[in-house]
Structure 1
Amino acid sequence: MNENQATWLSFLAEQGARLSESTTPEPIGFTDAAPINAGFIAPLTHLGLIAATGEDAASFLHNQLTNDIEHLGPGEARLAGYCTAKGRLLATMLTWKSGDTIYLQLPRELQPVVQTRLQMFILRAKAKLADLSDDFVALGLVGADAELLAPWFPVLPNAPYAKVDTDAGSLIRVADADGRPRFQWIAPLAVAKDAWPTLARRLPPAPPSAWRLTDIAAGMPTVVKATQEQFVPQMVNFEVVGGVNFRKGCYPGQEIVARSQYLGKLKRRMLPATIATVGVAPGMEVFAANEPDQPCGQIVNAETIDGATRCLVELKTAALESGGGLHLGAANGPLLDIGSLPYALIDPT
């Protein structure tokens, strides 16, 4: 473990965090539990960070990712995907530019593999990639307001995926969840340690799982290790939430992603669901009661709350339209209670 990461985790423990027992510890709770239906602050220790620099960094990433990186402005962030040649997502990420550096934020468990794969294709491009996962601290803030953040950010990003930079780091507004604004603050370690006590007096501390629950509420998919190469972007609504630009040039898998978009109604989509059980994990299969012999979908993301699981599930649209029940693991497994997305699904015409 990097020294900065160890220092940050030790600091969080001093602030009341309980850490998981593993080789990659993560806060699993705080002394006082934060209600996720209210505002909270969470250390996003599950996220890694790749930095790209060099005069060809933007054009290189533009040719590798599903979104427009060449025209990524200093006051914005964008979602992007990294696909195989078959159009299957290896990673979903948040991208932004500060100064001359382009940042790619993705699950920490995927960062080394994705960075190594990207590095293979740099060839003669004047670009360098670096792992900065432990050089900055990512804080997730739900329900923060201008008064609370004014000492560090006099002006807040005013819409999802707007970004503000100051000496305190970068503040990115991401997709709202349940009508509440959500921000990511990417801060140097010293700044984060100094700010935490002030923030925690107004926003109860919560573990990263609480932030991931708000991602689920916002209908925002995250590819994890168990679901790599499982989804074309449209299967998890990634083009709907702004992760795919169909007007940019080629990238790995671009032809398949474009074909999926323009050859009629999409046959698979992602929806939120609740399951009255625990132990649900990404990659687990879902079955329709009236078609028990083969799965009709799989879990994309899942988090436990109050003895149940909230999840995002990728499904055949035909299974939804059939009217039969959807079950986890087998046709007689726990029932999925399908919910509604916070955004409209618009099929290509």
Structure 2
Amino acid sequence: MATVPTSNPDLGSVRLSHLAALDVKGADAEKFLQGQTSAQVSLADGNFAPLTCFCTPKGRMLANAYLLRMGENHFRLLLSSTLLDSLANHLKKFAAFYKTELIALPNLTFIGASDKAQVIADQMALQLPEQIGTHTTNGHTCALRYPSETPRWLLCFDDGFDNHSDSDAAEIKDDEASRNAWQLEDIRSGLAWLTDAQQDHFLPQMLNWEALGGISFKKGCYTGQEVVARAHFRGQVKKRLMRVSVDTKALPEVGASLVSNDDKTVGEVVVSAFDEQGHVELLAVMNTKVTEEAMPVFLAGEPATLLSLPYAIERVDPEQLAVSLNA
């Protein structure tokens, strides 16, 4: 278990190691992705970057990602680095029937930036996107506006940030306290990235993916679509991503159990980080009875407090998001 950092800095700019990219290229790239992913692929237009996910035939998530159109017949998926190889291997089974190529990019440089984002963008001759869920690119660099109360951007460099700019001038941090601050913003935004520890475990709705606009219920079939749609329209989702605070000095493991008064498991940790006071904030997939019955919950013997999320648990159609961005 990680222990509390000596400081929890404000967001400036930090190198991020938990993300990677998978490029999908070729004449059939859009058609191929349309049959595999929860997104309406045509919505990825070089501006809007829809959230998406890939599922098993039983509707369980293999990975979730942002979907970016980098150019003609060229898409990029941003996802957990722990799932890069497994997702690529899964998709290769289907890609063989299309004119498309999958290219795993484990070594891209990812920088998360807030107040330093403009400095970096200026060095790279890159315009920062203003609206959450949109991106810009200049060929070798892309910038994605991330969800957060504090404006922040994810910047991705194909051949290394240090090859193009003065990283000292941008004061890029490379320490766990700064990465913790970025992770804390993800948690407060209600955004959880699936990792290999819980792959093939959750329905997309259990990570609130439809509330974030990550599922199109208006597109045609994709792998797992029938199960995902049935769970939505029949109201069968009894577990939801919830934000929790615990007064403890050590981060819990992914998958650690949250329990009720009678020691029954009612949830499991997906991601956690230290807050400004050195306590732990986390996102956990929890039984909806926790909120319905105002149930006391504990993590490793410590009482857990439910915190609010910045969005309602209701369906948000990505088609409507795309329209609103162009309004």
Q: Give the TM-score band, short-chain normalised.
A: 0.7 to 0.9
Q: In the TM superposition, what is the alpha-carbon distance from 1:323 to its structure 2 partner?
A: 2.0
| 8 Å CA contact 1:137, 1:192 repeated in 2 | no
> C-alpha distance in 1, partners of 2:174/2:194?
26
- Aligned equivalent of 1:55, options 18, 23, 27: 27
CA offset digits 1:308-348 (Å, max 9, x no partner): 3211011111122222310125xxx2221111101122279
| 8 Å CA contact 2:119, 2:170 repeated in 1 | no
Matched, 1:340 2:291: no
Q: In the TM superposition, what is the alpha-carbon distance from 1:204 to its structure 2 partner?
A: 5.7
Q: In the TM superposition, what is the alpha-carbon distance from 1:137 to its structure 2 partner?
A: 1.0
Q: What is aligned with 1:124?
A: 97
Q: In the TM superposition, what is the alpha-carbon distance from 1:124 to its structure 2 partner?
A: 1.7
| 8 Å CA contact 2:13, 2:117 repeated in 1 | no
> C-alpha distance in 2, partners of 1:82/1:213?
25
Equivalenced residues, count = 307
> C-alpha distance in 2, partners of 1:190/1:217?
29
| 8 Å CA contact 2:11, 2:181 repeated in 1 | no
> C-alpha distance in 1, partners of 2:44/2:315?
26
> C-alpha distance in 2, partners of 1:318/1:148?
46
Matched, 1:221 2:189: no
Q: Percent sequence identity over matched residues?
A: 25
| Secondary structure at the counterpart of residue 147 of structure 2 | strand
Task: Give runs of aligned pairs for residues 22-171 of structure 1, distance below 5 A.
Answer: 35-36=8-9, 38-100=10-72, 101-134=74-107, 136-144=108-116, 146=118, 149-153=121-125, 155-167=127-139, 169-171=141-143
Query: What is the TM-score with the length of structure 2 in the denominator?
Result: 0.86
> C-alpha distance in 1, partners of 2:315/2:238?
10
Q: In the TM superposition, what is the alpha-carbon distance from 1:188 to its structure 2 partner?
A: 3.3
> C-alpha distance in 1, partners of 2:315/2:23?
35
> C-alpha distance in 1, partners of 2:183/2:87?
21
- Aligned equivalent of 1:301, options 257, 268, 271: 271
Q: In the TM superposition, what is the alpha-carbon distance from 1:169 to its structure 2 partner?
A: 0.9
In structure 1, list runs of 5 or more residues that go unmatched. Answer: 1-27
Describe the shift of the 1:118–1:53 C-alpha distance in structure 2 as closer, same or farther (beyond 3 A).
same
In structure 2, list runs of 5 or more residues that go unmatched. Answer: 317-327
| Secondary structure at the counterpart of residue 150 of structure 1 | helix
Q: Which moved more, 1:179-188 or 1:203-212?
A: 203-212
Q: What is aligned with 2:208?
A: 237
Describe the shift of the 1:69–1:34 C-alpha distance in structure 2 as closer, same or farther (beyond 3 A).
farther
Describe the shift of the 1:66–1:154 C-alpha distance in structure 2 as closer, same or farther (beyond 3 A).
closer
Code of the residue aligned with 1:221 in structure 2: it is A
Describe the shift of the 1:99–1:269 C-alpha distance in structure 2 as closer, same or farther (beyond 3 A).
same
Q: What is aligned with 2:231?
A: 260
| 8 Å CA contact 1:34, 1:204 repeated in 2 | no
Code of the residue aligned with 1:232 in structure 2: it is L
| 8 Å CA contact 2:57, 2:223 repeated in 1 | yes
Query: What is the TM-score with the length of structure 1 in the denominator?
Result: 0.81
| 8 Å CA contact 1:88, 1:232 repeated in 2 | yes
> C-alpha distance in 1, partners of 2:140/2:87?
28
> C-alpha distance in 2, partners of 1:347/1:157?
25
> C-alpha distance in 2, partners of 1:183/1:39?
11
| 8 Å CA contact 2:289, 2:295 repeated in 1 | no
What root-mean-square deviation, in Å, do the aligned CA atoms of Structure 1 and Structure 2 show? 2.4
Q: In the TM superposition, what is the alpha-carbon distance from 1:147 to its structure 2 partner?
A: 6.0
> C-alpha distance in 2, partners of 1:53/1:347?
31
